[in-house]
Amino acid sequence: MSRVGIVGLGSYVPEDILTNKDFEKMVDTTDSWITARTGIKERRKAREGVPVSELCYQAARQALEDAGILPQEVELVIVASVTPDYAFPATACLVADRLGISKAAAFDLEAGCSGFIYAAVTASQFIAAGMYRTALVIGGETLSKITNWQDRGTCVLFGDGAGAAVLQPVEDGYGFLGMELGADGSGGDLLIQPAGGSSIPATTASVQANLHTIRMAGREVFKFAVRVIEESVQSLLSKCDLRLEDIDLFLFHQANQRIIEAAARRLELDQEKVFVNLERYGNTSAASIPLALDEAVQQKRIRDGDILMMVGFGAGLTWGAIACKWGGKGNKDDQNENL
Ligand code: UT7
Protein backbone atom coordinates (compact mmCIF):
# COMPACT_ATOMS: atom_id res chain seq x y z
CA MET A 1 0.00 0.00 0.00
CA SER A 2 2.98 2.32 -0.12
CA ARG A 3 2.85 3.21 -3.79
CA VAL A 4 -0.32 5.25 -4.31
CA GLY A 5 0.11 8.97 -3.89
CA ILE A 6 -1.10 12.43 -4.80
CA VAL A 7 0.44 13.65 -8.07
CA GLY A 8 -1.57 16.84 -8.60
CA LEU A 9 -3.59 19.33 -6.57
CA GLY A 10 -6.05 22.13 -7.20
CA SER A 11 -8.39 24.30 -5.16
CA TYR A 12 -11.06 26.91 -5.68
CA VAL A 13 -13.06 29.25 -3.46
CA PRO A 14 -15.84 31.63 -4.58
CA GLU A 15 -14.97 35.34 -4.74
CA ASP A 16 -17.57 36.68 -2.30
CA ILE A 17 -16.28 37.10 1.27
CA LEU A 18 -18.39 37.18 4.43
CA THR A 19 -16.48 38.74 7.33
CA ASN A 20 -17.21 38.44 11.04
CA LYS A 21 -18.36 42.07 10.92
CA ASP A 22 -21.00 41.10 8.35
CA PHE A 23 -22.43 38.62 10.89
CA GLU A 24 -22.70 41.36 13.52
CA LYS A 25 -25.46 42.82 11.30
CA MET A 26 -27.23 39.46 10.89
CA VAL A 27 -27.25 37.77 14.33
CA ASP A 28 -26.41 38.56 17.96
CA THR A 29 -22.65 38.03 17.71
CA THR A 30 -19.35 39.91 17.60
CA ASP A 31 -16.13 39.67 15.67
CA SER A 32 -14.29 39.16 18.97
CA TRP A 33 -16.54 36.20 20.02
CA ILE A 34 -16.12 34.45 16.66
CA THR A 35 -12.37 35.07 16.58
CA ALA A 36 -11.79 33.98 20.17
CA ARG A 37 -14.06 30.89 20.08
CA THR A 38 -13.23 29.65 16.55
CA GLY A 39 -10.24 31.49 15.03
CA ILE A 40 -12.34 32.26 11.95
CA LYS A 41 -12.19 35.81 10.51
CA GLU A 42 -13.86 35.34 7.13
CA ARG A 43 -15.32 32.72 4.81
CA ARG A 44 -16.38 32.44 1.16
CA LYS A 45 -19.91 32.21 -0.15
CA ALA A 46 -21.06 30.90 -3.51
CA ARG A 47 -23.55 33.16 -5.28
CA GLU A 48 -27.12 32.17 -5.89
CA GLY A 49 -27.29 29.80 -8.84
CA VAL A 50 -23.70 28.57 -8.35
CA PRO A 51 -23.80 24.89 -7.39
CA VAL A 52 -21.04 22.85 -5.78
CA SER A 53 -20.24 21.17 -9.13
CA GLU A 54 -18.92 24.53 -10.38
CA LEU A 55 -16.48 24.79 -7.45
CA CYS A 56 -15.45 21.14 -7.89
CA TYR A 57 -14.93 21.62 -11.62
CA GLN A 58 -12.63 24.62 -11.08
CA ALA A 59 -10.54 22.79 -8.46
CA ALA A 60 -10.38 19.60 -10.56
CA ARG A 61 -9.27 21.44 -13.71
CA GLN A 62 -6.29 22.82 -11.77
CA ALA A 63 -5.47 19.44 -10.25
CA LEU A 64 -5.38 17.77 -13.69
CA GLU A 65 -3.18 20.56 -15.02
CA ASP A 66 -0.89 20.31 -11.98
CA ALA A 67 -0.58 16.56 -12.50
CA GLY A 68 -0.06 16.94 -16.25
CA ILE A 69 -2.95 14.55 -16.86
CA LEU A 70 -5.45 14.72 -19.72
CA PRO A 71 -9.13 14.30 -18.79
CA GLN A 72 -9.38 11.10 -20.85
CA GLU A 73 -6.68 9.48 -18.69
CA VAL A 74 -8.91 9.66 -15.60
CA GLU A 75 -10.61 6.35 -14.82
CA LEU A 76 -12.32 7.15 -11.54
CA VAL A 77 -13.93 10.33 -10.18
CA ILE A 78 -15.12 10.59 -6.58
CA VAL A 79 -16.76 13.72 -5.18
CA ALA A 80 -17.05 13.96 -1.40
CA SER A 81 -19.75 16.43 -0.36
CA VAL A 82 -22.72 16.93 1.94
CA THR A 83 -24.03 19.60 -0.45
CA PRO A 84 -24.27 17.83 -3.83
CA ASP A 85 -26.01 19.61 -6.72
CA TYR A 86 -28.85 17.06 -6.51
CA ALA A 87 -29.80 14.00 -4.47
CA PHE A 88 -29.22 12.34 -7.85
CA PRO A 89 -27.56 12.26 -10.34
CA ALA A 90 -24.20 12.27 -8.58
CA THR A 91 -22.18 15.49 -8.67
CA ALA A 92 -19.16 13.37 -9.72
CA CYS A 93 -20.98 12.56 -13.00
CA LEU A 94 -21.70 16.24 -13.63
CA VAL A 95 -18.11 17.28 -12.91
CA ALA A 96 -16.68 14.45 -15.03
CA ASP A 97 -18.88 15.53 -17.93
CA ARG A 98 -17.76 19.18 -17.67
CA LEU A 99 -14.13 18.08 -17.61
CA GLY A 100 -14.60 15.96 -20.73
CA ILE A 101 -14.16 12.69 -18.85
CA SER A 102 -16.70 10.47 -20.54
CA LYS A 103 -16.10 6.86 -19.57
CA ALA A 104 -14.68 6.92 -16.06
CA ALA A 105 -16.49 5.47 -13.07
CA ALA A 106 -17.97 8.39 -11.13
CA PHE A 107 -19.78 8.51 -7.82
CA ASP A 108 -20.36 10.68 -4.78
CA LEU A 109 -19.35 9.78 -1.27
CA GLU A 110 -20.78 11.30 1.87
CA ALA A 111 -18.74 11.14 5.06
CA GLY A 112 -19.26 14.67 6.39
CA CYS A 113 -16.09 16.61 7.02
CA SER A 114 -14.07 13.37 6.75
CA GLY A 115 -15.26 13.09 3.13
CA PHE A 116 -12.00 13.91 1.38
CA ILE A 117 -10.04 11.41 3.48
CA TYR A 118 -12.69 8.73 2.88
CA ALA A 119 -12.64 9.44 -0.87
CA ALA A 120 -8.83 9.44 -1.11
CA VAL A 121 -8.59 6.15 0.81
CA THR A 122 -11.33 4.62 -1.38
CA ALA A 123 -9.65 5.74 -4.62
CA SER A 124 -6.27 4.47 -3.40
CA GLN A 125 -7.73 1.00 -2.96
CA PHE A 126 -8.92 0.88 -6.59
CA ILE A 127 -5.43 1.87 -7.71
CA ALA A 128 -3.66 -0.51 -5.34
CA ALA A 129 -5.90 -3.36 -6.51
CA GLY A 130 -4.89 -2.64 -10.10
CA MET A 131 -8.38 -1.78 -11.30
CA TYR A 132 -7.59 1.85 -12.17
CA ARG A 133 -4.37 3.82 -12.61
CA THR A 134 -5.61 7.43 -12.36
CA ALA A 135 -8.26 8.75 -9.98
CA LEU A 136 -9.60 12.24 -9.41
CA VAL A 137 -10.74 12.88 -5.84
CA ILE A 138 -12.62 16.07 -5.00
CA GLY A 139 -13.88 17.48 -1.71
CA GLY A 140 -16.35 20.27 -2.39
CA GLU A 141 -19.00 22.11 -0.40
CA THR A 142 -21.52 24.92 -0.68
CA LEU A 143 -22.50 24.85 2.99
CA SER A 144 -23.95 28.35 2.61
CA LYS A 145 -26.88 26.69 0.81
CA ILE A 146 -27.83 24.66 3.92
CA THR A 147 -26.97 27.21 6.60
CA ASN A 148 -29.55 28.59 9.01
CA TRP A 149 -28.65 32.29 8.89
CA GLN A 150 -30.62 32.92 12.08
CA ASP A 151 -28.64 30.38 14.16
CA ARG A 152 -25.58 32.18 15.56
CA GLY A 153 -24.23 28.88 16.92
CA THR A 154 -23.67 27.52 13.41
CA CYS A 155 -23.97 30.22 10.73
CA VAL A 156 -20.66 31.89 11.61
CA LEU A 157 -18.70 28.66 11.22
CA PHE A 158 -19.10 27.46 7.67
CA GLY A 159 -17.71 28.40 4.27
CA ASP A 160 -17.79 27.27 0.64
CA GLY A 161 -14.91 25.85 -1.40
CA ALA A 162 -13.45 22.84 -3.17
CA GLY A 163 -10.14 21.01 -3.33
CA ALA A 164 -9.08 18.26 -5.73
CA ALA A 165 -6.30 15.69 -5.94
CA VAL A 166 -5.13 13.35 -8.69
CA LEU A 167 -4.03 9.95 -7.37
CA GLN A 168 -1.70 7.58 -9.21
CA PRO A 169 0.96 5.01 -8.48
CA VAL A 170 4.13 6.70 -7.21
CA GLU A 171 7.74 5.64 -6.67
CA ASP A 172 8.58 3.11 -3.99
CA GLY A 173 8.65 4.52 -0.48
CA TYR A 174 6.45 7.53 -1.42
CA GLY A 175 2.71 8.02 -1.26
CA PHE A 176 0.23 6.74 1.30
CA LEU A 177 2.11 5.01 4.10
CA GLY A 178 -0.91 4.23 6.25
CA MET A 179 -4.63 4.94 6.44
CA GLU A 180 -7.43 4.78 8.88
CA LEU A 181 -11.23 5.20 8.63
CA GLY A 182 -13.87 4.96 11.30
CA ALA A 183 -17.46 5.81 12.16
CA ASP A 184 -19.70 5.90 15.21
CA GLY A 185 -23.29 6.22 14.04
CA SER A 186 -24.56 6.61 17.58
CA GLY A 187 -23.46 10.26 17.29
CA GLY A 188 -25.36 10.84 14.06
CA ASP A 189 -27.81 13.31 15.53
CA LEU A 190 -25.04 15.57 16.88
CA LEU A 191 -24.39 17.01 13.42
CA ILE A 192 -27.25 16.66 10.99
CA GLN A 193 -29.33 18.18 8.20
CA PRO A 194 -32.63 16.67 9.38
CA ALA A 195 -34.94 17.23 6.39
CA GLY A 196 -34.76 16.68 2.66
CA GLY A 197 -34.03 12.95 2.76
CA SER A 198 -36.41 10.01 3.10
CA SER A 199 -36.77 10.43 6.86
CA ILE A 200 -38.30 13.91 6.64
CA PRO A 201 -38.96 14.64 2.96
CA ALA A 202 -38.96 18.32 2.06
CA THR A 203 -42.33 19.94 2.69
CA THR A 204 -43.41 23.53 3.17
CA ALA A 205 -43.55 22.82 6.90
CA SER A 206 -40.05 21.30 7.04
CA VAL A 207 -38.59 24.29 5.22
CA GLN A 208 -40.49 26.78 7.41
CA ALA A 209 -39.05 24.98 10.47
CA ASN A 210 -35.56 25.28 8.94
CA LEU A 211 -35.12 21.51 9.12
CA HIS A 212 -33.23 21.50 5.81
CA THR A 213 -30.33 23.39 7.44
CA ILE A 214 -27.38 22.29 9.58
CA ARG A 215 -28.00 21.39 13.24
CA MET A 216 -25.00 20.84 15.47
CA ALA A 217 -24.40 20.07 19.13
CA GLY A 218 -21.16 22.06 19.13
CA ARG A 219 -19.68 21.12 22.49
CA GLU A 220 -20.16 17.36 21.99
CA VAL A 221 -18.69 17.48 18.48
CA PHE A 222 -15.79 19.55 19.83
CA LYS A 223 -14.88 16.90 22.41
CA PHE A 224 -15.23 14.10 19.86
CA ALA A 225 -12.97 16.00 17.43
CA VAL A 226 -10.14 16.52 19.90
CA ARG A 227 -10.30 12.85 20.96
CA VAL A 228 -10.26 11.39 17.43
CA ILE A 229 -7.43 13.61 16.23
CA GLU A 230 -5.26 12.35 19.08
CA GLU A 231 -6.33 8.71 18.62
CA SER A 232 -5.92 8.77 14.83
CA VAL A 233 -2.45 10.29 15.00
CA GLN A 234 -1.30 7.76 17.61
CA SER A 235 -2.81 4.86 15.72
CA LEU A 236 -1.25 5.86 12.38
CA LEU A 237 2.14 6.42 13.98
CA SER A 238 2.11 2.91 15.34
CA LYS A 239 0.75 1.38 12.08
CA CYS A 240 3.45 3.10 10.03
CA ASP A 241 6.20 2.58 12.57
CA LEU A 242 6.83 6.34 12.74
CA ARG A 243 7.56 8.68 15.64
CA LEU A 244 5.86 12.01 16.19
CA GLU A 245 9.14 13.76 15.30
CA ASP A 246 9.13 12.06 11.87
CA ILE A 247 6.05 14.01 10.80
CA ASP A 248 6.89 17.24 8.98
CA LEU A 249 3.38 18.68 8.78
CA PHE A 250 -0.04 17.90 10.28
CA LEU A 251 -3.16 18.91 8.37
CA PHE A 252 -6.28 18.53 10.49
CA HIS A 253 -9.81 19.28 9.36
CA GLN A 254 -10.17 23.07 9.68
CA ALA A 255 -13.20 23.30 11.96
CA ASN A 256 -12.03 25.40 14.87
CA GLN A 257 -8.64 26.79 15.95
CA ARG A 258 -9.36 25.69 19.52
CA ILE A 259 -9.93 22.08 18.43
CA ILE A 260 -6.61 22.09 16.57
CA GLU A 261 -4.79 23.70 19.51
CA ALA A 262 -6.31 21.31 22.06
CA ALA A 263 -5.34 18.26 19.99
CA ALA A 264 -1.86 19.66 19.38
CA ARG A 265 -1.43 20.24 23.13
CA ARG A 266 -2.49 16.69 23.97
CA LEU A 267 -0.05 15.30 21.41
CA GLU A 268 2.62 17.81 22.49
CA LEU A 269 3.03 18.96 18.90
CA ASP A 270 5.13 21.90 17.86
CA GLN A 271 2.52 24.44 16.56
CA GLU A 272 4.84 25.18 13.64
CA LYS A 273 4.14 21.68 12.38
CA VAL A 274 0.38 22.20 12.32
CA PHE A 275 -1.08 23.89 9.24
CA VAL A 276 -3.98 26.29 9.77
CA ASN A 277 -5.87 28.38 7.21
CA LEU A 278 -9.35 28.37 8.74
CA GLU A 279 -9.13 32.07 9.57
CA ARG A 280 -9.78 32.79 5.86
CA TYR A 281 -12.18 29.99 4.88
CA GLY A 282 -14.04 28.85 7.98
CA ASN A 283 -15.13 25.24 8.14
CA THR A 284 -15.49 24.01 4.55
CA SER A 285 -16.27 20.41 5.55
CA ALA A 286 -15.03 17.94 2.89
CA ALA A 287 -13.10 20.71 1.13
CA SER A 288 -11.03 21.78 4.13
CA ILE A 289 -8.19 19.25 3.96
CA PRO A 290 -7.50 19.51 0.20
CA LEU A 291 -7.76 23.33 0.45
CA ALA A 292 -5.19 23.27 3.25
CA LEU A 293 -2.98 20.76 1.44
CA ASP A 294 -2.92 22.77 -1.79
CA GLU A 295 -2.13 25.97 0.09
CA ALA A 296 0.63 24.29 2.12
CA VAL A 297 2.26 22.98 -1.07
CA GLN A 298 2.01 26.40 -2.74
CA GLN A 299 3.56 28.04 0.32
CA LYS A 300 6.36 25.43 0.16
CA ARG A 301 5.48 24.24 3.65
CA ILE A 302 5.53 20.77 2.04
CA ARG A 303 8.48 19.56 -0.01
CA ASP A 304 9.36 16.29 -1.71
CA GLY A 305 10.19 13.66 0.86
CA ASP A 306 8.21 15.30 3.68
CA ILE A 307 5.92 13.11 5.74
CA LEU A 308 2.41 14.48 6.28
CA MET A 309 -0.44 13.41 8.42
CA MET A 310 -3.99 14.42 7.48
CA VAL A 311 -6.89 13.84 9.88
CA GLY A 312 -10.57 14.47 9.15
CA PHE A 313 -13.58 14.24 11.49
CA GLY A 314 -17.22 15.16 11.21
CA ALA A 315 -20.83 14.17 10.65
CA GLY A 316 -21.63 10.51 11.02
CA LEU A 317 -19.79 10.72 13.30
CA THR A 318 -16.88 9.81 11.07
CA TRP A 319 -13.13 10.15 11.14
CA GLY A 320 -10.30 9.32 8.79
CA ALA A 321 -6.55 9.80 8.53
CA ILE A 322 -3.76 9.34 6.01
CA ALA A 323 0.00 9.36 6.54
CA CYS A 324 1.77 10.24 3.31
CA LYS A 325 5.31 10.70 2.08
CA TRP A 326 5.07 13.58 -0.35
CA GLY A 327 6.53 13.27 -3.87
CA GLY A 328 7.62 10.26 -5.87
CA LYS A 329 5.56 11.50 -8.79
CA GLY A 330 6.15 10.12 -12.26
CA ASN A 331 6.13 6.39 -11.87
CA LYS A 332 4.91 6.29 -15.47
CA ASP A 333 6.27 2.83 -16.28
CA ASP A 334 4.27 1.20 -13.57
CA GLN A 335 1.25 -0.44 -15.15
CA ASN A 336 -0.20 -1.72 -11.90
CA GLU A 337 1.25 -5.25 -12.03
CA ASN A 338 3.30 -4.82 -8.89
CA LEU A 339 1.02 -2.72 -6.74
O1 UT7 B 1 -16.84 20.16 10.87
C2 UT7 B 1 -17.51 19.23 11.64
C3 UT7 B 1 -17.10 19.31 13.01
N4 UT7 B 1 -17.58 20.51 13.66
C5 UT7 B 1 -16.88 21.00 14.65
O6 UT7 B 1 -15.82 20.50 14.92
C7 UT7 B 1 -17.44 22.11 15.50
C8 UT7 B 1 -17.20 21.78 16.94
N9 UT7 B 1 -17.70 22.77 17.87
C10 UT7 B 1 -17.21 24.02 17.98
O11 UT7 B 1 -16.34 24.42 17.23
C12 UT7 B 1 -17.72 24.89 19.10
O13 UT7 B 1 -18.47 24.10 19.97
C14 UT7 B 1 -18.56 26.10 18.62
C15 UT7 B 1 -17.67 27.12 17.93
C16 UT7 B 1 -19.66 25.64 17.70
C17 UT7 B 1 -19.19 26.80 19.83
O18 UT7 B 1 -18.19 27.19 20.73
P19 UT7 B 1 -18.32 26.85 22.28
O20 UT7 B 1 -17.19 27.48 22.95
O21 UT7 B 1 -18.48 25.36 22.39
O22 UT7 B 1 -19.64 27.61 22.67
P23 UT7 B 1 -20.99 27.01 23.28
O24 UT7 B 1 -21.76 26.30 22.22
O25 UT7 B 1 -20.67 26.26 24.51
O26 UT7 B 1 -21.73 28.32 23.64
C27 UT7 B 1 -21.23 29.22 24.65
C28 UT7 B 1 -22.08 30.48 24.63
C29 UT7 B 1 -23.58 30.19 24.63
O30 UT7 B 1 -24.21 31.17 25.39
P31 UT7 B 1 -24.68 30.85 26.89
O32 UT7 B 1 -25.62 29.69 26.76
O33 UT7 B 1 -23.44 30.51 27.64
O34 UT7 B 1 -25.33 32.13 27.32
C35 UT7 B 1 -23.96 30.38 23.19
O36 UT7 B 1 -25.31 30.76 23.02
O37 UT7 B 1 -21.81 31.21 23.43
C38 UT7 B 1 -23.04 31.50 22.78
N39 UT7 B 1 -22.79 31.58 21.35
C40 UT7 B 1 -22.45 32.73 20.74
N41 UT7 B 1 -22.25 33.97 21.21
C42 UT7 B 1 -21.91 34.91 20.32
C43 UT7 B 1 -22.87 30.58 20.44
N44 UT7 B 1 -22.58 31.07 19.22
C45 UT7 B 1 -22.34 32.40 19.39
C46 UT7 B 1 -21.97 33.43 18.49
N47 UT7 B 1 -21.76 34.65 19.00
N48 UT7 B 1 -21.81 33.23 17.17
Residue-range domains of the chain with CATH: 4-172+329-338 (3.40.47.10), 177-325 (3.40.47.10)
What's residue 336's pLDDT? 46
d(C-alpha 205, C-alpha 161), whole Å: 30
What's residue 21's pLDDT? 98
Task: Give the orientation angle of helix 115-128 with respect to helix 288-298, to 10 degrees.
Answer: 80
166 CB-near residues (< 8 Å, 6+ apart): 6, 7, 8, 9, 63, 64, 66, 67, 69, 74, 134, 135, 136, 137
Residue 152 CA, closest ligand 1 atom number: 48
Residue 34 CA to ligand 1 center (angstroms) comes to 9
Q: Is the CB of 37 under 6 A from ligand 1?
A: yes
d(C-alpha 6, C-alpha 312), whole Å: 17
Residue 114 CA to ligand 1 center (angstroms) comes to 21
**What residues are annotated to the active site?**
113, 253, 283
Q: Are 4 and 176 in contact (CB under 8 A)?
A: yes
Nearest CA, atom 25, ligand 1: 219
What's residue 162's pLDDT? 98
**Per-residue confidence of the chain (339 residues) as pLDDT tens digits?**
448 999 999 999 999 999 999 999 999 999 999 999 999 999 999 999 999 999 999 999 999 999 999 999 999 999 999 999 999 999 999 999 999 998 999 999 999 999 999 999 999 999 999 999 999 999 999 999 999 999 999 999 999 999 999 999 999 999 999 999 999 999 999 999 999 999 999 999 999 999 999 999 999 999 999 999 999 999 999 999 999 999 999 999 999 999 999 999 999 999 899 999 999 999 999 999 999 999 999 999 999 999 999 999 999 999 999 999 999 886 554 544 444
Q: Is the CB of 194 under 6 A from ligand 1?
A: no
Nearest CA, atom 12, ligand 1: 218
Q: Are 61 and 100 in contact (CB under 8 A)?
A: no
**Type of residue at 259:** I
Most informative mutation of 81, 222, 252, 291 for ligand 1 (most atoms within 8 A of CB): 222
Residue 141 CA to ligand 1 center (angstroms) comes to 22
Q: Is the CB of 257 under 6 A from ligand 1?
A: no
Q: Is the CB of 13 under 6 A from ligand 1?
A: no
Q: Is the CB of 35 under 6 A from ligand 1?
A: no
What's residue 334's pLDDT? 52
**DSSP strands (E only) in the chain:** 4-12, 17-19, 42-44, 76-80, 105-109, 135-142, 160-169, 175-183, 191-192, 215-216, 249-252, 307-314, 318-325
d(C-alpha 190, C-alpha 199), whole Å: 16
Q: Is the CB of 29 under 6 A from ligand 1?
A: yes
